[in-house]
């Protein structure tokens, strides 16, 4: 017979946040002794906290062995929810601080390189003028761009992530708001012979030295779509990288050819003497946007950052941004 847990008698009056915190640290450390040292308490105190939790819930939360401590299936469930509980409490403190003094606080964001070198500086410039004492913590998440960035949001590492929006964001727990639609173009250095041509067929460029992304990545698949749309195969790469910094500098030194987004070219063409080649390269729109966790209440600092992002995006498109959530009817888009 399934044992029903009574909230009022077993949880509401007996479960303590301190015990829950101890449990989280124990599972993370994998050892009662290590958890005790990290918490600065005795090992018996840690064991007692775990025992109190198990007694309140009437299930075993951890398995103890000579190798250490490991969460049971019940413990894994509690751990998952505990992360959200403590995050919401931390968020509450941050919200209260910001509401009591809107000039202070902190914000944690992730961003891919193509957006951190284009729209992000404008967003931060706008935001910092309005809230100069709010600390913005920025992480470059380009290395994870071929994977889902959901974990960075789901484990509450980031308040939001700026990246290329794709159909992988069409999930029940993520919100993806498109800031502007971008386009992929073929680029070469302004000093190359191709820069002086008024019209070029893509097939003419196949034997040139290309800088391409690694096969198997989302970016390579997107670039390959452009070649297929032109009825040609993907050329052999002479240099394999997605780094914008490396590509812009290499293009000024040697006759390489690569692909960039329009937004990157808009800000870097003159600075690095780059030219968009007059060649057809049929690909889908390449939308840029902000991803947030749907089940997480956005704090006032985050809401104001999103407002600055929408304002900055107007200079890239001249149109209003659009929102696409989980199970949206919007068709698949590539990042």
For residue 140, the SS3 value is strand
Q: Are residues 25 and 165 in the same domain?
A: no
Domain total in the chain: 3
Q: Are residues 117 and 242 in the same domain?
A: no
Cα–Cα distances in angstroms (integers) from residue 168 to residues 3, 52, 110, 328, in the given order: 39, 41, 17, 12
> Where would I find the H helices in 117-188?
119-130, 150-154
Q: How do the pLDDT tens digits run along the chain, 335 residues long?
A: 345 545 455 555 567 788 888 888 999 899 888 989 988 999 889 888 888 888 888 889 999 888 888 999 998 888 888 877 887 788 788 777 767 776 677 899 999 998 999 999 999 999 999 988 889 999 998 866 545 556 588 878 899 999 988 766 667 788 899 999 999 999 999 999 999 999 999 999 999 999 999 998 888 988 999 999 999 999 999 999 999 999 999 999 999 999 999 999 988 887 889 999 999 898 888 899 999 988 787 888 889 999 999 999 998 864 434 444 443 333 333 33
For residue 181, the SS3 value is coil
User: What's the pLDDT at 10?
Assistant: 53
330 vs 148: CA distance, rounded Å: 19
Report the alpha-carbon angle 59-63-66, nearest 5. 160
Q: Are residues 163 and 39 in the same domain?
A: no
With respect to residue 91, please indicate whether it lies within any of the assigned structural domains.
no
117 vs 201: CA distance, rounded Å: 30
Domain that holds residue 159: 101-181+286-325
Q: Are residues 108 and 240 in the same domain?
A: no
Q: Are residues 31 and 177 in the same domain?
A: no
Q: Are residues 131 and 203 in the same domain?
A: no
For residue 169, the SS3 value is helix
Q: Are residues 175 and 291 in the same domain?
A: yes
With respect to residue 335, please indicate whether it lies within any of the assigned structural domains.
no
Q: Are residues 267 and 311 in the same domain?
A: no
Is 98 in contact with 246 (CB distance < 8 Å)?
A: no
With respect to residue 190, please indicate whether it lies within any of the assigned structural domains.
yes
Q: Are residues 67 and 110 in the same domain?
A: no
Which CATH number fits the domain that encloses residue 319? 3.40.190.10
Q: Are residues 172 and 300 in the same domain?
A: yes
């Amino acid at each position: 017979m399934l044992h029903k847990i009574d909230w009022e008698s077993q949880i509401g009056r007996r479960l303590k946040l301190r015990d829950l915190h101890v449990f989280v640290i124990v599972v993370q450390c994998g050892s009662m002794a290590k958890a005790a040292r990290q918490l600065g308490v005795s090992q018996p105190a840690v064991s007692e906290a775990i025992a109190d939790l198990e007694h309140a819930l009437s299930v075993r939360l951890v398995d103890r062995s000579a190798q250490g401590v490991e969460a049971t299936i019940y413990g894994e469930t509690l751990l998952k929810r505990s992360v959200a509980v403590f995050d919401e409490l931390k968020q509450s403190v941050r919200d209260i601080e910001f509401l009591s003094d809107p000039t202070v606080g902190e914000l944690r964001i992730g961003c891919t390189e193509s957006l951190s070198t284009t729209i992000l500086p404008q967003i931060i410039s706008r935001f910092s003028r309005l809230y100069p004492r709010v600390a913005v913590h920025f992480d470059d998440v380009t290395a994870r761009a071929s994977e889902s960035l959901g974990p960075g949001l789901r484990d509450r590492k980031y308040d939001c992530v700026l990246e290329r929006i794709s159909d992988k964001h069409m999930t029940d727990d993520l919100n993806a708001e498109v800031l502007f639609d971008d386009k992929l173009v073929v680029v070469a250095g302004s000093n190359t012979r191709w820069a002086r041509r008024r019209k070029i067929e893509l097939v003419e460029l196949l034997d040139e030295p290309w800088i391409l992304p690694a096969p198997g990545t989302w970016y390579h698949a997107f670039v390959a779509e452009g070649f297929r749309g032109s009825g040609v195969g993907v050329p052999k790469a002479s240099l394999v990288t997605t780094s914008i910094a490396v590509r812009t500098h290499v293009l000024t030194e040697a006759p390489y050819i690569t692909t960039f987004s329009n937004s990157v070219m808009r800000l870097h063409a003159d600075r690095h003497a780059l030219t968009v080649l007059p060649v057809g390269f049929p690909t889908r729109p390449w939308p840029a946007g902000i991803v947030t966790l749907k089940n997480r209440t956005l704090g006032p600092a985050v809401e104001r950052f999103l407002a600055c992002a929408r304002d900055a995006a107007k200079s890239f498109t001249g149109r209003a941004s659009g929102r696409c959530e989980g199970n949206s009817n919007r068709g698949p888009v590539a990042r």
